[in-house]
Structure 1
Amino acid sequence: MISILAQVTGNVASAAGVFAAAIGVGIIGMKAAEAVGRNPGASGKILVQSVLAIAFAEGLGLLALFLAK
């Protein structure tokens, strides 16, 4: 019984971590598109920073996925 509860708790925690990373990626993409709309000349710098931020968010999502199991 306790092992089933531990598995369910781990699955919920890993799902929450991955869900939070997905929300973070969406917000980063939304704000990057907004920034490019405001200043199209800076699209190269915005792209680099947003790709790095997305990579860090996805890395934290994967970290949450593996640490919660």
Structure 2
Amino acid sequence: MMMELMTMAQPAAAAAEVAAAGVSGSLTLGLAGAGAALGIGLIGGKAVEAVGRNPGAAGSIQTLAIIGMALAEAVAIYALIIAFQGR
């Protein structure tokens, strides 16, 4: 009887572990996505503000803003990899 209970509990424990991995992966991806969106928004806003203050430097500001946005987006891509790594 005890052995039967242990064998029935093993699939339930494995299913709970898979569910917990899915929740933690979703949480990781959600937080990283929110952080990346916040970073990209701040970079874009400050770039527009900088061009408004000095229109002659628009080309170099745009270049730096695109590099900054790409680095912020890389964080979300790394989180996507981490979130799906456990599956």
Shift of residue 15 of structure 1?
1.0
Superposed CA deviations along residues 26-49 of structure 1, whole A, max 9, x for unmatched, are: 000000000000100100110000
Give the fraction of aligned pairs with identical amino acids, expressed as a percent: 41
Q: Which residue is equivalent to 2:63?
A: 48
- Shift in Å, 1:2: 2.2
Structure 2 residue 83 is the aligned partner of structure 1 residue 68: yes
Unpaired runs of at least 5, structure 1: none
After TM superposition, the score normalised by the length of structure 1 is: 0.92
Cα separation, 1, equivalents of 2:37 and 2:31: 10
- The structure 1 segments of at least 4 consecutive aligned residues displaced by more than 3 Å after TM superposition are none
Between structure 1 and structure 2, the one with the greater Rg is 2
Separation of aligned partners in 2, 1:2 and 1:62: 24
Alignment: residue pair count: 69
| Higher RCO structure (Cα 8 Å, ≥6 apart) | 1
